[in-house]
């Protein structure tokens, strides 16, 4: 496996991901599972956040206790529309993270990513960015999103997804060898329409019940 890819194989994530993949999982259950998985992904992705020690008083004693370093600020950038599902879970764990949105859709004929919306916090240059999208399929959307984010000069960028196709990983790592990919699974291949096989279907449609 490419050393830029961090495969998160925690049993709780794997179990919930299996439930998420099942065709019989309805929209309500899909939303809950995606939120739960995202919360667990956030836990793994933020492992390297620095802490600072501050003096506190417990009921019994004074102690120096770790707190997240206040100068280490995050922004979660959701790729519309399916990224919204991951964003919500992550915000539950990190309620003060700032949020950005990038609107990119895949042209169904060419599979090329087309941007229609972009908004990130003004101080993104002082922030670490987590770009979230459940599926890394062809990689076109993820590559375009990272390119766009790089133009805003954040401190760092990580890409977080649930499922990645080998083709998407190859494309992404070719163009952005400096950006780590966090994923809960690497599936087998892409079909001719750009869907991940075995995958979970269209993440946006399953999340929003649009099909």
DSSP symbols for the chain:
--TTEEE---HHHHHHHHHHH-TT--HHHHHHHHHHHHHHHHHHHTTT--EEEEEEE-SS-EEEEEEE-TT-EEEEEEEETTHHHHHHHHHHH-TT-EEEEEEEEE-TTT--EEEEEEE--TTGGGEEEEEE-SEESSSHHHHHHHHHHHTT--SEEEEE-SEE-HHHHHHHHHH-TTS-EEESEE-SEE-TTS-EESS-S-HHHHHHT--
What part of residues 9-48 is at the interface with ligand URA (CB under 6 A)?
A: none
Q: How far apart are CA 107 and CA 175, in angstroms?
A: 20
- Give the residue with the Cβ less far from ligand URA, 100 or 134: 134
| Contact string 63-92 vs ligand URA (x = CB under 6 A) | -------------------x----------
Shortest separation between residue 109's beta carbon and ligand URA, angstroms: 15
Residue 203 in contact with ligand URA, rule: CB under 6 A:
yes
CA dist 134 and 195 (Å) reads 12
Q: What's the rounded Cα separation, in Å, for the pair 82 and 208?
A: 8
CB of 175 to ligand URA, least distance (A): 18
Do 197 and 189 meet the contact criterion of CB atoms below 8 Å apart?
Answer: yes
Among 37, 124, 135, 149, binds ligand URA (CB under 6 A): 135
Shortest distance in whole angstroms from residue 121 CB to ligand URA: 27
Distance in Å, CB of 71 to ligand URA, minimum: 36
Using CB under 6 A, pick the residue from 8, 76, 130, 137 that binds ligand URA.
137
Task: Pick between residue 41 and residue 137 the one whose CB is nearest to ligand URA.
Answer: 137
> CB 28 → ligand URA: shortest distance, Å?
18
Give least dist CB 51 to ligand URA, A. 36
> Between 178 and 197, how does the x/- string for binding to ligand URA read (CB under 6 A)?
----------------xxx-
User: Residue 199, interface with ligand URA (CB under 6 A)?
Assistant: yes
Give contact residues for ligand URA (rule: CB under 6 A): 82, 135, 137, 194-196, 199, 202-204
């Amino acid at each position: 496996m490419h050393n830029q890819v961090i495969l998160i194989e925690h049993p709780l994530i794997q179990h919930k991901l299996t439930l998420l993949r099942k065709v019989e999982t309805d929209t309500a259950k899909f939303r809950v599972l995606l939120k739960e998985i995202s919360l667990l992904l956030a836990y793994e992705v933020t492992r390297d956040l620095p802490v600072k020690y501050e003096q506190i008083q417990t009921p019994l004693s004074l102690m120096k206790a770790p707190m997240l370093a206040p100068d280490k600020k995050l922004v979660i950038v959701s790729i519309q529309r399916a990224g919204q599902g991951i964003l919500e879970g992550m915000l539950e764990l990190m309620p003060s993270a700032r949020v950005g949105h990038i609107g990119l859709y895949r042209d169904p004929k060419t599979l090329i990513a087309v941007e229609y919306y972009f908004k990130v916090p003004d101080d993104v240059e002082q922030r670490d960015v987590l770009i979230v999208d459940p599926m890394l399929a062809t990689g076109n959307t993820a590559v375009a999103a990272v390119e766009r984010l790089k133009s805003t000069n954040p401190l760092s960028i990580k890409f977080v997804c649930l499922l990645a196709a080998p083709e998407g990983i190859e494309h992404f790592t070719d163009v952005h060898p400096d950006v780590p990919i966090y994923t809960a699974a690497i599936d087998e291949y892409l079909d001719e329409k750009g869907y991940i096989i075995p995958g979970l279907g269209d993440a946006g449609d399953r999340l929003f019940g649009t099909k």
